[in-house]
Amino acid sequence: MKYYTFGNNLPNGDRWSGVRFWLTTLLVFWTFSAIGLGWLVNSFFILIGLIALVPVIAFLGLQWWVKRSIVSAECPMCSSAFTASRSSQFQCPNCGEPLQEQNSKFVRLTSPGTIDIDVQIVD
Ligand SMILES: [Zn+2]
């Protein structure tokens, strides 16, 4: 009765395990389709496609978002180049000037008409 058993008892059993797996998979899919569950098979493939696509879309979206929300420019005061996020106020890492992003360039927070003066007391 040994010849009628399946599995590891057969000397060449491993050679056919891959074929048997695909045959079983095909049979399962065929059975699903035959009893009107083709949508289940389809949604299964769609799910696999989504799982494969989501990291790619997330990566591209993140790259797009970073490009859109980060701006690299030079400080108008000391001309040192650095990167900062848009729509927020920040300080120049070199000279500490309060800055703001405007048209992909850094501008000072103080109004353009303001003139910086050093007050010196003269005796
Ligand atoms: Zn600066």
Domain membership of residue 34 as a residue range: 2-60
Nearest Cα to 104, choosing from 81, 70, 76, 77? 70
Residues 46 and 87 in one domain: no
Task: Give the Å distance between the CA of 80 and the centre of ligand 1.
Answer: 6
Between 33 and 55, the more confident residue is 55
Give the pLDDT score at 3.
59
Tokens of 122: 């003269």
The pair phi, psi for residue 98, each rounded to 5°, is -65, 125
Task: Give the Å distance between the CA of 5 and the centre of ligand 1.
Answer: 80
Task: Give the Å distance between the CA of 63 and the centre of ligand 1.
Answer: 27
The model's pTM? 0.42
Task: Give the Å distance between the CA of 73 and the centre of ligand 1.
Answer: 11
Residues 7 and 34 in one domain: yes
Task: Give the Å distance between the CA of 116 and the centre of ligand 1.
Answer: 15
Query: Looking at the domain assignment, is residue 48 inside a domain?
Result: yes
Count up the domains in the chain and report the number.
2
What's the pLDDT tens digit per position in 68-108? 888 899 999 999 999 988 877 889 999 999 998 888 889 88
What's the pLDDT tens digit per position in 37-77? 777 778 888 999 999 999 999 999 999 988 888 889 999 99
